[in-house]
Amino acid sequence: MSGQQRRDLDEMLRHAPLDVGGDVSEARAVFHEMMTSIPLPPDVTTTPGHLGRIPVVTVDTPGSDPDRVLLYFHGGAYAIGSAADAAGLAADVSRRCGARAVCVEYRLAPEHPFPAAVDDAVAAYRALLDQGIPGERIAFVGESAGGGLAVAALVAARDAGLPRPASAAVFSPWTDLTVSGASAAGKARLDPSLTPEALRTRARDYLGSSAGTEPLASPVLADLTGLPPLLVQVGSHEILLDDAVRLAARAAEHDVRVELQVWPRVPHVFQSFAVMLDEADEALNSAAAFTRTHWNPTKDSADSAAAAP
């Protein structure tokens, strides 16, 4: 892998205009401008809609199977970002998985504090199931806060008695809203995107009167028993490294099939930069392979047999 690619990306992120912990309205506008500054590929289609009462943006790429769904949760520290802003990375994952992505427009803090985002995530999943799409044809994907939200939604869906999805893949997940991991300080100098202070600011916005130790706020503290196979990807140059490592350890402790991939010398949600970073391209291919592996093999075999002459 190219050290120059990593250095170029690090330099670009350190000079980016986004202040994650700054004024919410300004941060949202800057983030939106950054995320939409590169047009989507011309063969990507985005369609606004709803899953039940939850707004979503459906992202389709050529050849995607409409019966397989990536339920996608965007990042932005629970206060920034949108389903539309996530369409670029969601489309990349969609293309590699051969499935449509449905990006969830969950409510943001501080206007809608915890557990609004979790409630919306579970409601969107329930609506997909109500449409007749079985859980084994649905995979959760999330980045940053959306990665933590994906895991929290899995826990909440399990507790609600809903069928579990086929798998979940989370990129640089924020799973500890107390920001107590050792890497919050230990990796601060190396992380070009996030600071512990910014995360603590956004955590206060999201948590409101909650402590942050609630399992659905900080799923690294949750009972993860019964969750589907989980892939956790993280860069070694980010303050959320410990959130990912501890999540994987927690999943293993609770007998969840889990894969942890720590990619050296790359930053937060490095998967977004596949056009300029070899590691990002490789990581997305790995995530797609993981997701495809865990689609229901029994149903796939039955479908193939039914289609045979």
Let me know if 144 is a catalytic residue. Answer: yes
Active-site residue identified among 144, 218, 272, 286: 144
Active-site residue identified among 136, 172, 193, 268: 268
d(CA 79, CA 84): 15
CB atoms within 10 A of CB 300: 14
Bridge partners (DSSP) listed for residue 65 = 99
Nearest to 38, CA basis, from 309, 282, 274: 274
d(CA 241, CA 178): 14
CB atoms within 10 A of CB 36: 14
Residue 155 CB contacts under 8 Å (≥ 6 apart), including other chains? 215, 216, 219, 222, 223, 224, 227
Active-site residue identified among 105, 136, 143, 238: 238
Let me know if 304 is a catalytic residue. Answer: no
> What are the DSSP E strand ranges found in the chain?
45-51, 54-60, 65-73, 99-104, 138-143, 167-171, 230-235, 258-263
DSSP-derived letter for residue 6 is H
Supply the residues annotated as catalytic: 144, 238, 268
